[in-house]
Amino acid sequence: MAAIADGTDAVVEAGGKSGRGSDADVSRGAAGQPVMDLLRFAAVGSVDDGKSTLIGRLLHDTKQLFDDQIEAIEAASRRRGIDGMDLSFVTDGLRAEREQGITIDVAYRYAATPTRKFVIADCPGHVQYTRNMATGASTADLALVVVDAPKGLREQTRRHVCIAALLGVRHLIVAANKMDQIDWDQSAYDRVVTEMAHLSERLGVVSCTVIPVSALHGDNVADRTHAALWYDGPTILEALEQAPAGEWAGVQGTHRGSGARLPVQWVLRQPGGGRTYAGMINGGPLRPGGEVVVLPSGQRSKVTAVETLDGPLGEAAVGLSVSVQLADDVDVSRGDLLAAADDLPDVVTQLVATVCWFDRKPLVAGAQYRIKHTTRVTPARIVSVDARLDVNRLELLPADSLGENDIGTVTISVASPLAVDPYHRNRITGSFVVIDPTTNGTVAAGMVGLPDLTPPDEDPASLVDHA
Amino acid sequence: MTTTLDPPTSTTVASRSSIAARPTVDHLDLLEAHAIFIMREVAAECERPVLLFSGGKDSAVLLRVAEKAFRPGRLPFPVMHIDTGHNFPEVIDFRDRRVAELGERLLIASVQESIDTGRVADPGHGGMRNRLQTTALLDAITAHGFDACIGGARRDEDKARAKERVLSFRDAFGQWDPKRQRPELWQLYSGQVGPGEHLRAFPLSDWTELDIWQYIEREAIELPSIYYAHRRSVIERDGMLLAESEWVAPRPGEASYEETVRFRTVGDATCTGAVRSEASTVERIIHEVAISRVSERGATRADDRFSETSMEDRKREGYF
């Protein structure tokens, strides 16, 4: 993206010496390696509100596109009778997407400043591709919500914000798009601010920055516009550069509050006859000397070493793949969880969960599925479907089935015990997927616990669509 | 709960100081950890995985990640090269030496054999064989009963790859259906497939060309010498510099000449172009990649120039 001179001041240079083609000054740390953090964000919102165009605009104006990519997009635009560039083609790369002018599946794009790498998931807006939107949002630190400002928030916008928030995305940047169509009328922007305020409050969103933009013309995307003198907040680019990174995995220490967890993926046999247990750390750092409990068996032991191929670590940070040696000869295999002894997850054979249902076949009580939770796969049975979420009113209403793209709460029993944390405390040990054993397809995203909804403090009528 | 909403005139966003703090875990650590995680999941969930190794830079990184995932044990899968028969000798030397150093098992699936047995039509001497790799690959998958192929493809390479899951499902005909991909939530990778079906697993999905080179520098990973600037006899064709070889000779109106070049990608010698470059060290290549105005495949791959969706079309047929 635009060059940042020293990490303290965002400088968007007009034309030329920024992004690709410039003499990149990659800042380096003590070890001579670039010091960069990683921000993952997902562009979400309703179909035709301009998500792909905004991402295309952002990448184009920050010079993250290569010359041959630009030429190819210009050629593809010409073939379809479009003057100049259709910026949505930057991410809509499939034949069917370009034919229909829509996004079918998530496109991942990458951008970088000297201090930050961005992983961008451009999600589809159609209701029928909600499963793909959830795929893109499930690993995001932040959601870039695109709203057609003249039309206001739609039901599908609410659904996406709702899914993103349920998936644990706590930071939103909202692009109030197409402001050029209404002469940058501040009242339309204000309406988006008000509606997003209500939604954010109900969904436990921590920060929400609303920015008036025109993705088509590039106003307030990478470059500040002079069309809206009433606005002096950040551009999309500035907001992205200033957002906290590593929220998803808690890499930067802002984790969701559980103790250290290591889901065992693989057992490594060491030359001397010992074993180490390999996996990726989540929840909190793991150190030699730390007391752990093997779950679900409940055996206690102590970490004697945290190993990597590059040598032992004094501390294994969240997000690192390591292997751990224990003091005692305990029985540990794939699917078990090593957990910090002073903060244990619950070991359960029945759980209440919030699910996003993706299958055409409705979810009903009595159905048999498989569940993958951390590194454990177990048969599961739906005990009951309890409620469906009304995404307009943000209320749980009694229900006994969930249809395709519904969000609801269910009670599930599992054949082998699972060590779970509530999703709001740990996104790894609090999440699972539901797999149809006949097709092996993933039919639902599951989160342990009920959705974290704050009751409305005002008349719910204010939450109804303005469109 | 505090909701910060921004009135038009005063904006509150996270303070600068929260990101100015130097991360103790940087982006390469996270990319590496994620790739190790994916490899261990595939090895654990699939019955018969295989790692695809071309001798190129991405597969060299892939092998390094595999070592990190499974040492001091053996790799829980063999290594397989889909050999077009049009190779750079430096790459084949490197391939054999690297696999021998690791003490792992190398399988070779040969496009020449597909031609000799009539599985595919012979494109003629020096004809492009890139697309023919699909048949050799799918035949090898069937013959060995592989249910997962771990490859080094990256999403930044191409717009169709940008759409693909980390674990990408292939039906019994080896086909990718981009309109019906399985949801892939969080890092819960599901490796189960039915008889005859398989997965392609891409642990380096989120790496860019620059990440790959920074990692090669950090890990001091050896590569075939053709990645570094050297003098070579080349022929200019279709806007690319092809290496003169037993399969590529000047056509009427073309002339070969000496040039200082390096290769940004390594593939079939008849359709992989070199770039003019003086970058003879990893450090210089990192600089060159950071300021490049042309994409990796745009600069070097003739096979991507046929149509707007050539990669998507090849992937649908079962290509890497």
Domain positions in chain B are: 27-210+311-317, 224-306
Nearest to B11 among A35, A234, A278 (CB): A234
Q: Does B178 touch chain A (CB under 8 A)?
A: yes
**B17 in reach of chain A (CB within 8 A):** no
Structural contact between residues B213 and B59, judged by C-beta atoms closer than 8 angstroms? no
DSSP at A34: B
| Over residues B205-234, mean pLDDT | 94
Q: How confident is the model at residue A99 (pLDDT cuts 50, 70, 90)?
A: confident
CA–CA separation, A310 and B104 (whole Å): 20
Amino acid, single-letter form, for residue A195: E
Positive or negative, the CA dihedral B127, B130, B131, B136 is: positive
The predicted pLDDT at position B2 comes to 34
Q: Is B58 on the interface with A (CB under 8 A)?
A: no
Residue B233: how many other CB atoms lie within 10 Å: 14
A278 lies within 8 A of chain B by CB: yes
The pLDDT of B117-141, averaged and rounded, is 80
Q: Does B73 touch chain A (CB under 8 A)?
A: yes
Query: pLDDT band at B271, cuts 50/70/90?
Result: confident
User: Would you say residue B74 has pLDDT above 90?
Assistant: yes
Nearest CA in chain B to A35: B26
Residue B182 has pLDDT above 50, yes or no: yes
φ/ψ of B178, rounded to 5, equals -65, -20
Q: Whose structure tokens read 């969904």? A: A203
Q: Residue B297 has what DSSP assignment?
A: H
A273-299 mean pLDDT: 94
Residue with tokens 């070592």: B67
Q: Rounded to whole angstroms, how far apart are CA atoms A9 and A68?
A: 31
Give residue A35's pLDDT band: very low, low, confident or very high (50, 70, 90): low
Tell me phi and psi for residue B114, to 5 degrees: -60, -35
pLDDT tens figures, A408-440: 999 999 999 999 999 988 999 999 999 999 999
Measured in angstroms, the CA of A183 and the nearest CA of chain B are apart by 16
The pLDDT of residue B292 is above 50: yes
Residue contact A321–B181, C-beta within 8 A: no
Chain A residues touching residue B6 (CB < 8 angstroms): 193, 208-210, 233
Look at residue B306 in the predicted model and tell me its pLDDT.
58
Residue B103 distance to chain A (closest CA, Å): 16
Per-residue model confidence (pLDDT) at position B304: 60
Q: Nearest to residue B211, comparing CAs of B24, B27, B54, B56?
A: B27
Q: Which residues contact A16 (CB under 8 A, 6 or more apart)?
A: A22
Q: What is the pLDDT of residues A158-178, one digit of tens each?
A: 999 999 999 989 899 999 999
Is residue B270 over pLDDT 60?
yes
Q: Which amino acid is at A262?
A: L
Contact B30 A38 (CB under 8 A): yes
Binding-face residues of A in 414-433 toward B, CB within 8 A: 427-428, 431-433
Closest partner CB to B188 (pick from A239, A308, A432): A432
Q: How many CB atoms lie under 10 A from the CB of residue B172? A: 12
Q: Is the C-alpha dihedral spanning B287, B98, B61, B267 positive or negative?
A: positive
B68 closest CB neighbour out of A79, A139, A309 = A309
- Checking if the pLDDT of A407 tops 90, the result is yes
- Cross-strand pairs, B52: B80
- Write the DSSP string, A188-248: HHHHHHHHHHHHHHHHT-SEEEEEE-BTTTTBTTTB--SS-TT--S--HHHHHHHSPS-TT
Count of positions (residues) in chain A: 467
Judged by a CB distance cut-off of 8 A, whether residue A132 touches chain B is yes
Give this complex's ipTM.
0.86
Are B320 and B201 contacting, i.e. CB atoms less than 8 angstroms apart? Answer: no
The dihedral over CA atoms of B5, B11, B12, B18, expressed in degrees to the nearest 10, equals 140
Contact B25 A206 (CB under 8 A): no
CATH numbers and ranges of domains, chain A = 37-242 (3.40.50.300), 261-340 (2.40.30.10), 346-448 (2.40.30.10)
pLDDT of B264 strictly over 50: yes
Mean pLDDT (whole number) for B58-74: 96
The verdict on a CB contact (< 8 Å) between B163 and A107 is yes
Mean pLDDT of B37-66: 96
CA dist A152 to A157, A179, A395, B97, Å? 9, 11, 21, 62
Question: What is the amino acid identity at position A465?
Answer: D
Min Cα distance A400 → chain B (Å) is 24
pLDDT digits (tens, 9 = 90+) for A182-225: 999 999 999 999 999 999 999 989 899 999 999 999 999 999 98
Q: How far apart are CA A261 and CA A344, in angstroms?
A: 9
Give yes or no for B172 touching A (CB within 8 A): no
Nearest to A13 by CA among A95, A113, A142: A113
Interface size A-B, in CB pairs within 8 Å, comes to 277
Under the banding of pLDDT at 50, 70 and 90, the label for residue A28 is: very low
CA distance A466 to chain B (A): 20
Segment holding A166, helix H or strand E: helix A155-166
Question: How far is residue B215's CA from residue B212's CA, in Å, rounded to a whole number?
Answer: 5
Closest residue in B to A435 (Cα) is B190
Q: Determine, for residues B183 and A119 on separate chains, whether the beta-carbon distance falls below 8 Å.
A: no
Q: Which of A241, A265, A447 to mutate to test the interface with B (most CBs of B within 10 A)?
A: A265
Give A-chain residues touching B5 at CB under 8 angstroms.
193, 196-197, 200, 208, 210
Q: What is the mean pLDDT of residues B124-151?
A: 85
C-alpha–C-alpha distance, residues A462 and A38, integer Å = 37
Q: In CATH terms, is domain B27-210+311-317 a member of 3.40.109.10?
A: no
Residue B16's closest chain A neighbor by CA?
A: A242
pLDDT tops 60 at residue A326: yes
Distance of CA A359 to the CA centre of its chain: 21
Q: Which of A316, A434, A338 is nearest to A385 (CA)?
A: A434
* CB nearest to B186's CB, from A98, A196, A431: A431
From residue A311, alpha-carbon distances to A281, A316, A322, B30 in Å are 17, 12, 10, 17
Q: What SS3 state is found at B305?
A: helix
Of A208, A230, A442, the CB nearest to B185: A442
Q: Are residues A283 and A338 in contact, defined by beta-carbon separation less than 8 angstroms?
A: no
Residue A3 is predicted with a pLDDT of 34
Q: CB of A162 within 8 A of CB of A146? A: no
* B83: three-class secondary structure by DSSP: strand
Listed residue (A456, A437, A446, A464) closest to A402, CA to CA: A446
Write out residues 109-148 of B within 8 Å (CB-CB) of A.
none
Distance from CA of B110 to the nearest CA of A (A): 30
Contacts of B162 in chain A (CB under 8 A): 91, 93, 107-109
Alpha-carbon gap, residue B160 to A176, rounded angstroms: 29
CA distance A210 to A395: 25
Average pLDDT of the residues in B199-225: 95
Q: What span, in angstroms and rounded, lies between the C-alpha atoms of B181 and B197?
A: 14
Least confident range of A438-452, B20-34, B280-294: B20-34
